[in-house]
């Protein structure tokens, strides 16, 4: 939405969507495209949260507690996501060599295959987005989203 459209909506009493809502909608678009594409390819589709688990795992493995911290969820929630992925043979739990109490969560060979395929599919989906909104616009979007933002500000609420 342009600045003029935002101003027109504000003048008419309509509320323009804020940036967090727009970003969430864009993420849903990618998630929906990935899910549908993976299903069409014969893969077991994963939820967005399950997909995030893969992105946050260290190559040597990650504890559930650390995974929960990275996801911003409770240990129980992280454990449930891990348990479902273990059941699909995409993740495995192995003893942590640095602590007898902990277990590490690692990607299985099947999980690595699915993850590579999902990453490649996302690259194609990003290409479709670039065709639809313009290559320069897609590059500008990526640049804006990867720019350093600094710490979240504390502002005076109007």
Instruction: Give the pLDDT confidence score for residue 5 in this predicted structure.
Output: 54
Mean pLDDT by 10 residues, the chain (158 residues): 51 73 95 95 87 90 95 93 94 91 94 94 97 98 96 94
List CB contacts of 75: < 8 A, sequence separation 6 or more.
64, 65, 68
Paired residues of 99 in beta bridges: 96
Instruction: Give the pLDDT confidence score for residue 150 in this predicted structure.
Output: 96
Instruction: Give the pLDDT confidence score for residue 45 in this predicted structure.
Output: 80
Is residue 103 within a helix (H) or strand (E), and if so which, with residue range? strand 99-107
10 Å Cβ neighbour count for 78? 25
Structure tokens at 13: 């009493």
Strand, coil or helix: what is 46? coil
- pTM of this prediction exceeds 0.75: yes
Alpha-carbon distance 35 to 114, whole Å?
Answer: 12
Instruction: Give the pLDDT confidence score for residue 44 in this predicted structure.
Output: 85
| Alpha carbon 27 to its chain's center | 8
Instruction: Give the pLDDT confidence score for residue 26 in this predicted structure.
Output: 96
Overall residue count recorded for the chain in this entry = 158
CA angle 50, 52, 58 (to 5 degrees): 110
Instruction: Give the pLDDT confidence score for residue 56 in this predicted structure.
Output: 94
80 within 8 A of 124, measured Cβ to Cβ: no
List CB contacts of 63: < 8 A, sequence separation 6 or more.
96, 102, 103, 104, 105
108 within 8 A of 88, measured Cβ to Cβ: no
């Amino acid at each position: 939405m342009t600045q003029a459209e935002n101003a027109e909506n504000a003048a008419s009493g309509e509320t323009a969507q804020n940036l967090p809502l727009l970003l969430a909608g864009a993420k849903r678009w990618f998630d929906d495209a990935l899910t549908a594409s993976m299903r069409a390819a014969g893969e077991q589709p994963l939820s967005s949260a399950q997909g995030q688990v893969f992105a946050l795992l260290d190559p040597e493995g990650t504890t559930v507690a650390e995974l929960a911290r990275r996801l911003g969820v409770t240990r129980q929630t992280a454990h449930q996501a891990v348990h479902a992925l273990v059941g699909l043979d995409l993740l495995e739990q192995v003893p942590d060599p640095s602590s007898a109490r902990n277990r590490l969560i690692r990607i299985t060979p099947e999980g690595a295959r699915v993850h590579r395929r999902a990453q490649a599919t996302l690259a194609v989906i990003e290409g479709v987005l670039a065709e639809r909104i313009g290559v320069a616009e897609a590059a500008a979007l990526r640049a804006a989203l990867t720019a350093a933002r600094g710490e979240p500000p504390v502002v005076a609420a109007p």
